[in-house]
Amino acid sequence: MKSTQVKRQAQLVDSIMQEIRQTDQYEEAILETRIAELITKYHEGAQSSQASEVTILLSDIRGFTAMSERFETSQVVAMLNRYFSKMNEIIIKHGGIIDKYMGDSIMVLFGVPDQNPDDAHRAIACAVEMQKAMDEVNDENKAQGLPKMYMGIGINTGVVTAGQVGSHLHNEYTVIGDGVNLASRIEAYSLRGQILVSDYTYLKVKDVVQIGDVNEVHVKGKSEVVPLYEITATHWKDEMAVPRREIRTSMRVEIDASFPFQVVENKEVQPGIYIGQTKDISYNGIFAIIKQPLDALTEIKLSLSLSLLGDENRDIYGKITSIRPMDEGYGCGIEFTSLDEDSQQAIKSFIHRIIEGV
């Protein structure tokens, strides 16, 4: 694993070795003085902090907590190690510096200790290759009877403070600041198999990437909406596309709430009223459990709760896009086909509140 501290130590060793190779040009006392100066400079640099523009990549395995509860600790560790090993290989290939691991998350820096004009480009290429590599990781998991893993990635470019953080008992070289916080927020919005980037990162790479939908979100700590760009491919140096993991058009959060619905036939709402249980929701649909074995493509009219949409129930029309038997009944994906602007905004606000934890 490459880290900023390891790289700085390597630079120190290289400098000392250059001095030693030239010992025939120095008296012993002068050589000792030069090495002492290099070591002093190294330690002073370790203690100092500086503002730098850095591109931050944050990755996270989606649903890992729930997954880890279903398997033995040894299996979970094996899955993580296999995942980290593959990701590390790709990160190093693209010149990224692994800042830290946070559970199943990885924080990677491009632009420390030295900035380069292509930092954001390398971060994007790294992210795309990381997503592509998940197929290989999952093939190995499948061979061992383990589940597939899916990763979300958020990327932001911004000015951060880089330096040693901690105490004399323990400290580490890292980056802090609003740029890091925004990268974390962006990662939280990413879906499985998705790469989301900030507008500033996108401006740096827009000539060499393809994007999908652009979502504007309210991010905690920001007064204005933040546009998030989904990267679908890059042609910087190499042509690479992000594999499509699932049909998805927006972020999705878990909820557990009941709702009434009616079947629509020939554009007429039928009188029977049924109750479904929402399990997760996105901007454009829900996954729910129902008791009736309805057909895929059945149209329904549903009402979402007061707590979700504000002061009144709102009628929404949707279509069942998929349905499968489950222990509790039938699990179905429902895509919204008709809802007013107020309902759409209320759903977005609800999802953002869940993600932000407020």
84 CB-side CA count, 13 A: 17
Q: What is the pLDDT of residue 128?
A: 98
Q: What is the pLDDT of residue 356?
A: 76
Confidence of residue 134 (pLDDT cuts 50, 70, 90): very high
According to CATH, the topology of domain 49-241 is: Alpha-Beta Plaits (3.30.70)
Q: Domain 252-356 is classified in which CATH homologous superfamily?
A: predicted glycosyltransferase like domains (2.40.10.220)
Residues 277, 256 contacting (CB under 8 angstroms): yes
Q: What is the pLDDT of residue 247?
A: 47
Helix then strand count (H, E) for the chain reads: 9, 16
Distance CA 72, CA 68 (A): 8
Domain boundaries, the chain: 4-45, 49-241, 252-356
**pLDDT, tens digit (0-9, with 9 covering 90-100), for 269-324:** 899 999 999 998 988 889 999 999 987 768 899 988 745 555 556 678 888 878 89
Confidence of residue 42 (pLDDT cuts 50, 70, 90): low
Confidence of residue 17 (pLDDT cuts 50, 70, 90): low
What's the whole-number mean pLDDT along residues 98-119?
A: 90
Place of tokens 């972020």: 251
Mean pLDDT of the chain: 82
248 closest CA partner among 283, 196, 273: 283
Residues 231, 257 contacting (CB under 8 angstroms): no
Q: What is the pLDDT of residue 304?
A: 81
CA distances from residue 140 to 78, 87, 133, 145 in whole angstroms, order as listed: 11, 14, 11, 9
